[in-house]
Every structure is written in C-alpha cells, then in structure tokens.
C-alpha cells in the first residue's frame, strides 16, 4: 500500500510541476505551492537573484522527494537550457549562470537531514565519470538522490576514472560502483575500465553500474563487457541498486 500511495503522490506532483500555472490564476513567481517548470526556468535566467532565492525557498518548504524534483524539474530544466543555448535563444553566459544556479539549487535541496540509521548500516556507492564527460550535473543528481534514499556516497562529479578512483574501489568496501559515460564512449573503453575496477576491488560481489542516457541500444554488449546494472536515468539507477542490495541481504 505504501508503494502504491507513493506512486500516486509522485504522479500528482509531476502533473502539478508541468501544468500551466496561469491556467489556475498563478502568475510568475507569486504562485503558492510547488513551483512550475517554466517558473523555475525563468527564475534561473533572471538577473535579479531574488527570483532564484524565492524558487529555492518554495521548493524547500514543499518537502517533495528529491527524486521527483530531479525528474520533473532539475533534469528537464537542464536539458532546456542546453537546447536554448544550441538554438541561440540564450547567450553562453546566461546559460552558464543559470546552470550554476541549478547546481546550487540541487546542492541546497540535498542539505537536509540525512538518514537516521548508522553509517555501518547504509549501503555504499562509489561514483566516477569518464574524463570526457564534462556534463557533471547528472552525476550530482545521482549522488544526491542515492544519499536521500539512504546510501553512503563517495566520489561524484569531481572523481574521474583513473588511479585515484581505482584506489578508492580497492579500499572502500562498496556495494555498487557507478560510472557515468558519454555518447562517444566505446564499449571497449568501458570494458577496460570495468576490468581495472574488478582487478582493484577485493569484493567480487560489488556491482558495476553504468549510467548514461545513450545506453539503450547497447545493453547487450555492455552486459557482455561486465556491467551488472545499466541505467538510463536516476530512477532506474536507484531502483536497480536497491533491488540488488535487498537481494544480497
């Protein structure tokens, strides 16, 4: 019953995020309740920071699950900012400033109270990215959502695949090690990284998670290369990782 109720709640929240605020008499930043997609986008692009601060405070006050905020606001807004830049609807400086605010918003919403149980009871995740992957917001989203779901998270956007990451894999005792890949990353490159992690990691039960929006057509070959979990988005990543940990209990 709890899962069904949560699903209904998330569906209602998504509808609220993306419904037209003006249709309900809600204009600009004066709307009460959860902020809408276009309102957040506008607040990020406004030069006056008061609009961004107001949007952040409203999201804080709603106490919506971070996963839902990421799916319905943060990730779509980031994609829209990228589209606006590519189509010359906004300048590079405007998009850069808005993206920085979006990262700040994610960080601020992730600063709430953590899980109440001890660290020893929490599953552990190590996150790293390919050196060619400069789009770090997605990895920040994954790190933040996993933390809110009760995971202990190391690494993240600042940790690139390489000797430091392999050393952490060797010493950390992780349930899952995740790698964020880009469109141009070859299966051979991913396979080589997985082999390096396996060689470094003393626990053969550690699962390797490969994440990226471009993986849907490559699942068979990436599984053959050694990936245990393939996730196209943050919801898939957290659901599959949680299922794996529950199975191993």
The stretches of 63-151 forming alpha helices (DSSP H) are 66-69, 75-86, 92-109, 137-148
Q: 16 lies in a domain? A: yes
Q: What is the CATH number of the domain that holds 143?
A: 3.40.50.280
Mean pLDDT to the nearest integer, 241-246: 91
| Per-residue pLDDT band at 53 (split at 50, 70, 90) | very high
Mean pLDDT for the stretch of residues 206-230: 88
pLDDT for position 4: 39
Q: Taking the model in full, what pTM does it have?
A: 0.79
Domain assignment of residue 182, yes or no: yes
Looking at residue 118, what is its pLDDT? Answer: 53
- Do residues 140 and 100 touch, judged by C-beta distance below 8 A? no
Q: What is the predicted pLDDT for the residue at 114?
A: 53
Per-residue pLDDT at 242 exceeds 90: yes
CATH of the domain at 74: 1.10.1240.10
Q: Looking at the structure, do residues 92 and 65 belong to the same domain, yes or no? A: yes
Same domain, 58 and 128: no
Domain match, 102 and 180 both: no
Question: Is residue 2 a part of any domain in this protein?
Answer: no
Looking at the structure, tell me whether residues 50 and 165 fall in a common domain. no
pLDDT at 245 over 80: yes
- What is the model's pLDDT at position 34? 61
Q: Closest Cα to residue 127, out of 114, 141, 145, 139?
A: 139
* pLDDT in the model for residue 215: 81
Find the mean pLDDT for residues 13-18: 43
Q: Which residue has the higher pLDDT, 126 or 15?
A: 126
Query: How much is the average pLDDT of 181-210?
Result: 91
Using 50, 70 and 90 to split pLDDT, how confident is the model at 27?
very low
Of 109, 135, 170, the position where a domain reaches its end is 109
Let me know if residue 147 belongs to a domain.
Answer: yes
Any idea what DSSP says for residue 27?
Answer: -
Identify the pLDDT of residue 142. Answer: 93
Residue closest to 18 by CA, chosen among 71, 67, 63: 71
Confidence (pLDDT) at 119: 64
Per-residue pLDDT tens over the stretch 134-156? 778 889 999 999 999 999 999 99
- Domain co-membership, 32 together with 85: yes
Q: Are residues 24 and 138 in the same domain?
A: no
Per-residue pLDDT, 35: 75
Number of domains in the chain: 2
| pLDDT recorded at residue 196 | 95
- Packed helices 187-200 and 163-172: angle between N→C axes, nearest 10 degrees: 40
Q: Are residues 46 and 154 in the same domain?
A: no
Cβ atoms 202, 170 nearer than 8 A = yes
**Mean confidence (pLDDT) of the chain:** 82
Q: Is 130 helix (H, G, I), strand (E, B) or coil?
A: coil
Tens-digit pLDDT profile for residues 29-43: 333 346 788 999 999
- Terminal Cα distance for the chain, rounded: 23
133 and 201 in a single domain? The answer is yes
Q: What is the DSSP string of 180-202?
A: E--TT--HHHHHHHHHHHHHH-S
Q: In this predicted model, which residue has the larger pLDDT, 135 or 27?
A: 135
Spatial CB neighbours of 232, under 8 Å, sequence gap ≥ 6: 211, 212, 213, 215, 216
Domain of 145, in residue numbers: 119-248
Of 203 and 217, the structure prediction assigns the larger pLDDT to 203
Query: 69 and 15: one domain?
Result: yes
Report whether pLDDT(72) > 50.
yes
- The answer to whether residue 26 is domain-embedded is yes
d(CA 39, CA 43): 6
């Amino acid at each position: 019953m709890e899962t069904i109720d949560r699903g209904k709640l998330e569906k209602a929240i998504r509808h609220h995020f993306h419904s037209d605020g003006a249709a309900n008499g809600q204009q600009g930043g004066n709307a009460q309740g959860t902020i809408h997609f276009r309102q957040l986008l506008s607040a990020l692009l406004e030069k006056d920071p008061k609009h961004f601060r107001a949007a952040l405070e409203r999201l804080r006050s709603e106490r919506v699950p971070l996963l839902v905020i990421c799916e319905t606001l943060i990730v779509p807004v980031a994609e829209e900012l990228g589209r606006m830049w590519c189509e010359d609807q906004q300048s590079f400086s405007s998009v850069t400033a808005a993206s920085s605010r979006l990262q700040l918003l994610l960080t601020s919403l992730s600063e709430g109270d953590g899980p109440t149980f001890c660290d020893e009871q929490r599953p552990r995740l190590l996150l790293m990215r390919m050196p060619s992957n400069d789009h770090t917001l997605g990895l920040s989203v994954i790190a933040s959502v996993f933390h809110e779901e009760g995971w202990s998270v190391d690494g993240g956007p600042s940790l690139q695949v390489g000797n430091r990451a392999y050393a952490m894999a060797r010493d950390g005792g992780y349930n899952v090690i995740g790698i964020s890949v880009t469109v141009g990353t070859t299966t051979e490159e991913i396979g080589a990284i997985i082999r390096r992690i396996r060689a470094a990691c003393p626990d053969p039960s550690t699962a390797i998670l490969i994440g990226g929006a471009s993986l849907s057509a490559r699942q068979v070959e990436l599984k053959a290369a050694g990936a245990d979990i393939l996730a196209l988005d943050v919801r898939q990543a957290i659901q599959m990782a949680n299922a794996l940990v529950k199975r191993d209990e």
